[in-house]
Amino acid sequence: MKNLLFLLLFSLPLFAKSYKGAEYRTKEAFTYGRFETRMKPAGKEGMLASFFTYHELGDGSYWNEIDIEILGRYTNDVQFNPITKGQVNHVSHALTAFNPALDYHDYGFEWTPDYVAWFIDGKEVHRQTGDHIKTLDLPQKLMMNVWNPDQPNWVGAWSDKILPAFSYYDRVKYSAYTPGTGSYGTDNNFSVLWTDELDSFDTTRWEKGVHTFSGNNCDFIQENVIFENGKMILALTDNITPGFKDVKGPAPIWARAEKNRVTLFFSEEINTVNGSNKANYSIPGIAVQTAKVKDDNRTVELRTSDINLSSTYNIIVLNQKDIFGNTSSPAAITMQNAAPLLFPLRVNIGGGEVSGFLADQEFSAKVEYGFLSGTVRTYPPDIVVADSNGDSVYISERNDFPTYRVRVPNGTYKVTMMFSENAHTAAGKRVFDVLVENKMIEDHLDLFAKVGAKTAYKITLTTEVADEMLDLYFQSEIGTNVINGLIVEQLTVGIKEVGYLLPGKFRLEQNYPNPFNGTTTINFSLPVNQNITFKVFNLLGENIFLKDLGELEGGYHQFKWIAEDNFKSQLSSGIYFYQIKGDEISDTKKLVLLK
């Protein structure tokens, strides 16, 4: 429960707030142990589902709390936070290989006098040690809740269209800390004392919360803790229809338009039959050709005729059904038009536009790049950062954020991340991991230990993007993470869908420009799905470049090639031949490289 005023967390009476949440909490308090649950959170922006322990006696100077919080704004992230005496947060995040909202997973933590370790599906994913952990020495009750904080920078933008929202809990297990005599957990230092399958309300062990607190936009009410079908359900609702009920159909939250595609996001899971019916979508002046519901059952991708991105369009949505059987009322929503980036992209993270760098911004359906969560710190303009080449980006920084995202065409990119340790003057004060496209790039990065204080440090790498989103991830280990700047260069060896009208036959176009110097573009069309390779040959017929483009859908495609061979060596001027080859198709054309 990060960055909120919880001084009176469990002493405020129930207020008549517009929204109603839920909390389930033990009557007993525990000192140390292993705490586990199996759950599926709601996965809706502006709210969270939790599993945590909390010491509820005393003021902030006695604060003891250990959190697992799953924020609905993320599709691949779980947040951990031990809050220690003086109400000090120690936030970290774990990148997941799955969307937590799509299925049940096991989450838990071990709390001992020397460490707190967090687990996902039985695997330890994060551990904290040190003096702050030793202050977690007060008895804490075990709790679960769902609520909507008043901090959109943390949990995302709130919309009551998402209501009702339900988080499901399948099991809770508690194991005592019994070093040397246990048979469970890390080093067999724990002993299982009880497991609750959450089939029903056990009044001897649990109670339902009836309270609220500062920073919480809902009241906790007993009606929103429900036991049904062998699960406990915690509901976030309006104040009119509490409980495990849904009486309204799905509503579109946002729509984003590209040249031949519209992405539509709904307030809740929709029926795939209705969602895949193109007749349920209408855009004046634009033909909707196909509709496809994505894996989350909340996102629909429409393939369309050409959209003029300089014009404004409304999309009309009809006949959508949710999993409760409710049918939506006709709804119209204005589409947000994409504004493709120009490369290289340079971003002054944490600051405004300066010295050829664009301003930082929050990521959303309306923009092409930005952060999710975090805080900003700015230093005096006369700060001297060694090895910075005078770049002004090191004056500002973003801290305590898990993700930075950039919308890009599929392809290969050179990514440069810019850092400087401007706050700390000793090693071990700030340590974090850097991941790009789900791959660990730098583990346990300590900027001071690496280059010292107020010294520029850059990480440069080449990465492939296959889902039209470049994802940067920063996982704090000690203290908060930090970044000052970002540069993204398109290396243009990539594949991009550029249209969705299915062609009647395979066609390979002449490259352009031709002759060319450095980079050229090749368009081709596929009538059906094909496994495609791209090859380049010299005048001797030798294959000097090959790239497997994988399985491509039927449609119009574009490939950009840098005049390099398989060993990244630049090619000399001359005549070459390029080939697109599939399972059942092949064509070759001539191109001219002129330097």
Residues acting as catalytic residues? 65, 69
The two structure tokens encoding residue 273:
């039959």
Rounded distance between C-alpha atoms, residue 106 and residue 142, angstroms: 16
Separation between Cα atoms, residue 538 and residue 222, nearest integer Å: 74
Q: Specify whether the CB–CB gap between 504 and 525 falls below 8 A.
A: no
Q: Do residues 312 and 297 touch, judged by C-beta distance below 8 A?
A: no
Q: Residue type for 565, please?
A: D
Distance CA 54, CA 142 (A): 7
What would you measure as the largest C-alpha separation in the chain, in angstroms? 84
90/74 Cα distance (integer angstroms):
19
CA distance linking residue 384 with residue 482, whole number of Å = 18
Neighbour order of strands in the sheet with 586-593: 543-552, 530-537, 574-581, 586-593
User: Which of 93, 94, 135 lies closest to 114, judged by CA?
Assistant: 135
Q: Cβ(132)–Cβ(88) under 8 Å?
A: yes
* Residue 316, CA atoms < 13 Å, CB-side half-sphere: 9
Partner residues linked to 107 by β-bridges: 37, 120
Q: How far is CA 427 from the centre of its chain?
A: 30
What is the C-alpha to C-alpha distance for residues 237 and 228, in angstroms, rounded to an integer?
A: 17
- What six digits make up the tokens of 171? 């099991």
Structure tokens, 393:
């980006």
Close Cβ partners of 567 (under 8 Å, ≥ 6 residues apart): none
Token reading at 90 = 């120690």
Q: What is the DSSP letter of 538?
A: -
- Cβ count within 10 A of residue 4: 17
Residues 146, 209: Cα–Cα separation, whole Å: 11
